[in-house]
Structure 1
């Protein structure tokens, strides 16, 4: 079984003491390639450094998460564009809107999102998108760029049936995480994932966040890592009524096509 983790925050400080071991455990669990999330001015360059240190295995995104939108200045935009000149950077983002916590003011979020969508237009790279409690504004901003953007994935999908079908109607891809395994918040996903076409379904851990709650035994530190992608795909396959190998093969093919990754 060959898996691709399309969203892992491996630049996070919780991995600083054992990052090589984390990568080795992922390989042993069948994770052949990973896309390292760049979500701020600080961490996007680090994601590129990590990708360049592991050619053909690790790749990076470059962007600024809505939580950090206040840092998205003209200088920041120039930095992001410089990062996107590197072939190891395979998508624009993580970018989008998050009105759940409003860590950055909403006008700043909209401005940062719009500027990053323009990078998507200018580079032709796919988009790695975030949306939480901002669906109406999110869809309106994406509509402003109709016909000018490449493919898009709404990463770490946790939303409603209406939101899912709005994304699928746009031919966007959907990223599923261990949120699926959360009996408190993710039960609705068990039914919704059946409706995602196989060629637009991708899987991710969002490590170190969102450790699947159904992993047994649960690690004491509660840190998620890419090796648990195998557990997520098993749960996803069960919910979709598929063989695990089928779900794995389809999600891997979708990720390779979307990010234009080489075969290994």
Structure 2
């Protein structure tokens, strides 16, 4: 077994985990994934994420935020409610927040309003950001540039963008989250070269479960559900691309996660 791993993106509030969550977490720990960061994507799920942390305090932390898909739900009261959630010792980042012009489940102007409010909140609370972005790079970059000097860092979660976009985010000092997308021969091939450009001390690993089951995983689970226990598979795949070993990559990325999210001092 390789060194303990940290999965910085697990959607454990998803209904697909409702029946066997305890087993999922036990399997993760048994596979060496000993720290799980549960993603909050709206106010309700952020609250649920904190509740899950209370159920599994030894292995879980969470984020609190409103995903761009849910930006249309944003009200002036959200900031106060997220501030209250962020006071919990298990909440280590503001998010999942950002911009997503790919599907526009919320109108772009609604997304920008909710994102701006969460940027202000992260700056006020001195907390890192857990960021999402799809097809909205220029606007997201512009908004981040305005506040980065006031922030405690952040991660672009599930990065799938271009080399230029990667360079822009690295220039801002952000960490880069890589998922099993990189294992997908249909759409992740470009990431296999870009991952080599990410400084070792800025790389984070995640499953984004239950989504993005690695296509290189054999045998595949009948449910097609991704789980944190598959993070070692993603780690090994990326280690091969980087010409390093899984042990070294596990140590480095776990150290990176601890540095960004300050797990030990929450």
The TM-score normalised by the length of structure 2 is: 0.97
Distance 1:34 1:104 in 2: 28
Is the CA contact 1:56–1:262 (under 8 Å) kept in the aligned structure 2?
no
Distance 1:174 1:146 in 2: 15
1:235 aligned partner: 237
1:196 aligned partner: 198
Describe the SS at the equivalent of 1:147: helix
Distance 2:216 2:171 in 1: 31
**Aligned alpha-carbon RMSD (Å):** 1.0
Distance 1:39 1:172 in 2: 20
Distance 2:64 2:235 in 1: 26
Is the CA contact 1:91–1:259 (under 8 Å) kept in the aligned structure 2?
yes
Is the CA contact 2:145–2:172 (under 8 Å) kept in the aligned structure 1?
no
Distance 2:12 2:205 in 1: 16
Distance 1:93 1:224 in 2: 21
Change (3 A) 1:171 1:233: same
1:221 aligns with one of 220, 223, 227: 223
Determine whether 1:171 maps to 2:173: yes
Aligned pair count reads 263
Q: Deviations over 1:144-197 (max 9, x none)?
A: 214111111000000000000111111110000000001111000001101111
Moved over 4 A (4+): none
2:30 aligned partner: 28
2:21 aligns with one of 2, 19, 23: 19
Comparing 193-202 and 71-80, the one that deviates more: 71-80
Gaps of 5+ in 2: none
2:92 aligned partner: 90
Gaps of 5+ in 1: none
Aligned-pair CA distance for 1:77:
2.0
1:49 aligned partner: 51
Aligned-pair CA distance for 1:80:
1.0
Aligned-pair CA distance for 1:252:
0.5
Distance 1:166 1:242 in 2: 26
